[in-house]
């Protein structure tokens, strides 16, 4: 009975060892090779300078100046309202 147990353990160990060796052999590091480019995979790439476009776009500049003036007007209104609230709070 003891010999069958050892024989089973030896067989299991042999199977595990062979699986490990196979996995290590399958994962061998090979020297990397340069990828082969086919003509159909070559893409043209363009770069766009967004900062230049925004600096020189007339309509964008006009819209930004309108937005800045509106923002300034809203800030002034908010300051006036804040001062009015402070004066009302002081009266209480």
The rounded average pLDDT for each run of 10 residues, N- to C-terminus, in the chain (92 residues) is: 65 72 68 65 82 90 94 96 93 84
- The boundaries of the domain holding residue 70 are 2-27+53-91
- The answer to whether residue 62 is domain-embedded is yes
Contact (CB, 8 A) for 60 and 54: yes
- The answer to whether residue 7 is domain-embedded is yes
- Tally of domains within the chain: 1
Backbone φ and ψ of 39, nearest 5°: -60, -25
pLDDT at residue 4, rounded to an integer: 62
What does the chain look like in DSSP terms, one character per residue?
Answer: -HHHHHHHHHHHHHHHHHHHHHHHHHTPPPPP-PPPPPGGG--------HHHHHHH-HHHHHHHHHHHHHHHHHHHHHHHHHHHHHHHHHH-
């Amino acid at each position: 009975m003891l010999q069958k147990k050892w024989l089973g353990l030896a067989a299991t160990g042999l199977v595990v060892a062979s699986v490990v060796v196979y996995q290590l052999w399958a994962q061998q590091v090979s020297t990397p090779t340069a990828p082969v480019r086919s003509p159909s995979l070559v893409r043209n790439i363009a770069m766009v300078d967004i900062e230049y476009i925004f600096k020189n776009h007339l309509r964008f500049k006009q819209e930004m100046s309108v937005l800045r003036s509106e923002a300034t007007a809203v800030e002034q209104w908010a300051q006036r309202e804040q001062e009015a609230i402070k004066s009302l709070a002081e009266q209480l």
